[in-house]
Amino acid sequence: MLAGAANKIRMPRCYRGVELDINDDFSSGWLQVLDQLDEAVIVLDHERILRHVNHAARRLLGYEEGQPIGGRCRLTTRGVDCENACPLTFALETGLKSVEDFSTVYHAVDGRALHLDVTVIPLAVAGGKFRGAVEILRPTHPRPGFFTCGQSDVAAGLQRQASALAGLEGDVVLVGEGPSCRDVARTIHRFSGLPDELFSEWSGAWPDTPPWPPGTVYAFGHGHFSELESGRPEGWRIIVGMLTREPDLDGREVWELPDVADLSGDLNRMIGAWVDELAPGKSVSAAALARLVSIACESGLEEVERILETALAAASDRVDVHHLPEDGQRTVLVDELLKNDKPLAALEERVVREVVERCGWR
């Protein structure tokens, strides 16, 4: 049985876990208690062999009733050892008694990606030796990008299509503006069960991209497929965005994204999410948001992106209307600077602040 509070928990140099009686066994009665829980729970031994998967976890992971569950845990990968990519490894390396809500992606028996918050409790025998672990699996939903985060029927259709493409293994062509293509590519990547760290933008050569573990590489512009397909590491997926559809795309999934006008009812929510994506923790005032929506409708998302880059660098905590151009054109902040008694000095200050912000020096 799990030791009670009266039992002393020993703390080895690099590992601290819940202590077990040395005679405890994974087949003992306390495992039957786990089967009565509504939450999904799995139990691993000291070699990370799956020793018990309760009923809720069987349903979540896709095990059929009576299907054997033995074998080394490879839930965070598609059939290979996960090494450092799991909450248990993190718990053991940091020496924590438990790790709560570790966001990760496990894979079901049929290969489906499961986005989870995992709580892991390492177990130890007397003396502190690692005995195994209990993991509690709580499903979560991957976060969509700004372009697909709306609540309209069009936005709901975008999320469904992104999920459908995420379940396929082929390459994808997105047709639309640069910011929307890049964001949808990242959403497809997230929905496929991969972390943001494995989403790369094409640098011009595959040697610049670590070959393992495989992820998604994104490029924008015509003519990229030939160079991307040459020398592609095994397992990597290619998503290419382009402003207009080019010929000779047979055999590839092509998705023509809707225009800004089709998402007009979602623009407030989209731009707010975009600001949070570009600069987590910063917000946008109602007046600034209204102006950005107007700019998006008049000039498109490319113009909004250019303005946001400068405005977010200039703003401290919140983007206000004075951080934006009055006419929505590329002469960003010119109107504001000309109101200053010393416009050149004000411009110099803006440039310095932007450099400092972008370089992470503040």
Q: How far apart are CA 103 and CA 101, in angstroms?
A: 6
pLDDT, position 13: 29
pLDDT, position 362: 52
pLDDT, position 5: 31
* Angle subtended at Cα 101 by Cα 79 and Cα 277, rounded to the nearest 5 degrees: 90
pLDDT, position 27: 54
For β-strands 130-139 and 113-125, DSSP reports them as: antiparallel
pLDDT, position 227: 81
Question: Could you tell me the mean pLDDT of each successive run of 10 residues in the chain, 362 residues long?
Answer: 30 39 54 85 88 89 78 58 65 84 80 83 83 89 90 94 86 95 95 84 83 86 82 89 84 91 96 94 94 94 93 91 70 58 76 66 58
Helices vs. strands in the chain: H and E counts, helices first: 11, 13
pLDDT, position 357: 61
Phi/psi region, residue 37 (left: phi>0; alpha: psi -120 to 50; beta: rest), is beta
Residue 159 contacts residue 144 (beta carbons within 8 Å): yes
| Token pair listed for 158 | 């975008």
3-class secondary-structure state, position 313: helix
Residue 147 contacts residue 184 (beta carbons within 8 Å): yes
Residue 290 φ then ψ, to 5°: -60, -40
Q: Which domains does the chain have, with CATH numbers?
A: 18-139 (3.30.450.20), 146-258 (3.40.50.300), 264-358 (no CATH)
DSSP for 212-252, written as a single string: SS--EEEEESTTHHHHHHTTPPTT-EEEEEESS--S--TTS
pLDDT, position 333: 55
pLDDT, position 359: 62
- What's the predicted TM-score (pTM) here? 0.64
